[in-house]
Amino acid sequence: MRDVHEPAGFPFSAIVGQDRLRLALTLCAVHPGIGGVLVRGEKGTAKSTVVRALTALLPEIENGRRARLVELPVGATEDRVVGSIDLEKVLRDGERAFQPGLLADAHQGVLYVDEVNLLHDHLVDVLLDAAAMGRVHVERDGVSHSHPARFVLVGTMNPEEGELRPQLLDRFGLAVDVAASRDVDVRVEVVRRRLDYERDPDAFAARYADRDADLARRIAAARAAVDAVELSDTELRRIASVCASFDVEGMRADLVLARTATAHAAWRGADAVTEEDVRIAAELTLPHRRRRDPFDEPGLDPQQLDDAMDKADEDARTHSDDEPEPDPDPDGPGGGAPEDDSDAPAPEPKSGEDQQDSQSQGSGSAPQQPAGAPGPQFTARLLEIPGVGDGAPGRRSRSRSTRGRTVRATTEPGTGLHLVGTLFAAAEHQRDRGRVTGPMRLAGTDIRGAIREGREGNLVLFVVDASGSMAARDRLTAVTGAVVSLLRDAYQRRDKVAVVTVRGTTAELVLPPTSSVDVAVRRLRSMTTGGKTPLAEGFLRAREVVLRERIRDPKRRPLVVTLTDGRATGGSDALPRARRAAAMLAGTGAASIVVDCETGMIRLGLAAELARDLRGGCVRLAELSAQQVAGVVRAAA
């Protein structure tokens, strides 16, 4: 029951637009076994507002309390998520006690994970396992515990901040792309309703109370009826045919599509799944499962879906038992999205990219040439920075981590119990505690935490000589091929990659630090060449990026790869300024490597001098292929 002083939440039925998101959430509320919703989109699109509003519509839990919204912070530990042993009770009472975590709190409610793409991969695995199975199993430190955890899992993410791995994308039941409407009338109505709500939340909620109550009744009725909805062999063949047409991997898509179609039929009050239910379910189930490679375009082509449905229909007719299938009534109670009786327009939000990043054009003496498509691509070798980092989530360099092999015990709070260290600490006090025989006598001061070592992600920053000198385009082709390949690898290893180009009179950050391959490919295609070589500006810009990222993401260690012939020509006193700037970049502590792109009979060795100023290694371009660029990065470590 809501506290009398707590303002009412924003009503679900008062939300303007976002019909597809509301439908996906509603279907997961009807059938939690669907496995949750991944919401992809820009900031400020009411993602969290819709999720909170849905929670108020869920049926009451058995003990009479309302369903809860549990928010999972990005920095949560696995113990906090799934639960852990109660060490204090174990040591005090000698009992093996289990303390439930956030998944237990979310049972029969909503588990909301904002910026799920920034969450540790292993935690995402845990969440998705629980969402799919409806239970949490914990086996650790001699404790075996299991409890129900049926909840609506909702994860939100901004693709500009990095992607989820394909394996994790596939395990989200549904995915929806959201964007702010470009329709002026819709935007006006959104602002009007929000301001009305802020002036008097309770009065605003009262205006939509009947509509929300009706939606709550529909969800409860659909949830009760979903198990009785018939999924005929004809529609099951249609589902299998559609999934086969999109060449999805594994069988999870077929199962999720079947559950979603069944939930949609129950939601519209039908007792059997029809072709329209399958189509709507496919629109929510398949888009994120098409991205096997990070360079695949997101979304679902409507024409491709039409073709798949036609093929499925033909297959269904071929294998039918000659009994006519019921035609879905377009004027019936379905309609796809939850009913909203407001008279404000609510068009379908457009998915995809709403804005195309543009690149500024620097000045120079040579004609500017577009870089075009990225160069030759390859399977990147492991890039590893020496030492042990502080554990930015990833799968590359060694780091202190909440997950991984245990390396030693600590008296400070660690990541779980170091059992052997705890026993050793207690052993030296047994005589003082009067123990002669019997069980070991433990105290709270004996507890030792575990220091674990895992893997981290890194920032790989390329500084590219994009001037008009000989072989500039070859250098550009080499680096774009390397960056694209590293981005593909970063899709798995959770790295960030950035590119600074130097040409004309300036240095341009053409690719800010990102793990988003969509943004990266757009930026790389817009790179240009021509003009002089202002290397000093390039190193200074790289230094700015390193320092800024150190503030924004202090746990991610940088590695700078510079491709140049060392012939700085931009501005006065160009070469000495470049060497001073290189020394300043080295002062940040970033690891560094220079790829010497100098060609011709006469070689000045300027790139090698810059490498010494950068306190890093140096190799020649003639010794490199696109594949070897990645090897050079590793050599710099």
Q: How far apart are CA 87 and CA 4, in angstroms?
A: 38
Q: How far apart are CA 398 and CA 521, in angstroms?
A: 28
Q: How far is CA 422 from the centre of its chain?
A: 37
Residues designated catalytic: 252
Count other Cβ atoms within 10 Å, centred on residue 249: 12
Beta bridge partners of residue 503, listed in sequence order: 506
Q: How far apart are CA 459 and CA 559, in angstroms?
A: 6
Count other Cβ atoms within 10 Å, centred on residue 391: 23
* Helices 209-225 & 19-30 angle (0-180, nearest 10): 50
Helix (H) or strand (E) holding 627: helix 626-636
For the record, the structure tokens of 319 come out as 């294998």
Residue 352: half-sphere exposure toward Cβ, Cα within 13 Å: 10
The 3-state secondary structure of 92-118, one letter per residue: HHCCCCEEECHHHHCCCCEEEECCHHH
- Would you give the end-to-end CA distance of the chain in angstroms? 58
Helix (H) or strand (E) holding 396: strand 393-401
Q: How far apart are CA 145 and CA 568, in angstroms?
A: 65
Closest CA to 54 of 109, 104, 134: 109
Query: Which amino acid does the sequence have at 3?
Result: D
